[in-house]
Amino acid sequence: MSTVEVIDQTAIAQLIDQYFAATQAMDVEAWLSTFADDAIDYDPVGGEPLQGKAVLAQFFHSIADLFDQIGLFPDFVHIVGHEVAVKWTGRGRGKNGRHITFEGIDLFEINAQGKIQTLKAYWHPAAMVAELQADGRQV
């Protein structure tokens, strides 16, 4: 039996909802709970793939710590088998008081246990950082 046949589509949709809700709550533990222990995140921040929950937690904090409030909001979710494509919009208020908006696309691969095994993120972090530095504050 293939992985695609094993995974329930409703469970995948709920997992993706949990992932985005955790970003909106800035809840690192809830966010980490959506990932497999050996998950890999390919994100343009840092350049190197992020692997394992300890590294993912550091990444989450490196972004969340720049904001008073931040969250990713799914605009479009498409599930095919055990893969999910999501176009999202990030909205937040930086420590500098500026309200910013940024967009991206995430591609998720869900494992047979119903956790995120691989995440490939496509977004432009430099634009977000430029907004956060608008008052001259270094991040």
Largest Cα–Cα distance of the chain, in whole Å?
56
The verdict on residue 139 lying in a domain is no
Rounded Cα distance, 29 and 65, in Å: 15
Q: By the 8 A CB rule, do 66 and 94 touch? A: yes
* Residue at 97 is within a domain: yes
Q: Does any domain span residue 30?
A: yes
- Quick one: tokens of 55? 């590294």
- Report pTM: 0.89
Domain assignment of residue 10, given as a range: 3-132
Is residue 18, in this structure, part of any structural domain at all?
yes
Q: Which residue has the tokens 């972004």?
A: 63
CATH number at 57 reads 3.10.450.50
- Looking at residue 103, its amino acid is E
* Number of domains comprising the chain: 1
In a domain, 89, yes or no: yes
- Mind listing the pLDDT tens digit of every residue in the chain (139 residues)? 344 445 789 999 999 999 999 999 999 999 999 999 999 999 998 778 999 999 999 999 999 998 999 999 999 999 999 999 999 999 999 988 899 999 999 999 999 999 999 999 999 988 888 877 775 444 4
User: Would residue 137 count as lying in a domain?
Assistant: no
Classify residue 19: in a domain, yes or no: yes
> Tokens standing for 44?
């343009």
Q: Which pLDDT value is given to residue 3?
A: 45
On whether residue 100 sits in a domain, the answer given is: yes
Q: Which one-letter DSSP state was computed for residue 14?
A: H
What does each C-alpha distance from 139 to 63, 86, 87, 89 come to in angstroms?
A: 10, 28, 26, 21
pLDDT number for residue 116:
98
* Per-residue model confidence (pLDDT) at position 139: 44
Chain segment 45-71, per-residue pLDDT in tens: 877 899 999 999 999 999 999 899 999
Alpha helices in the chain (DSSP H): 3-6, 9-25, 28-32, 53-64, 125-132
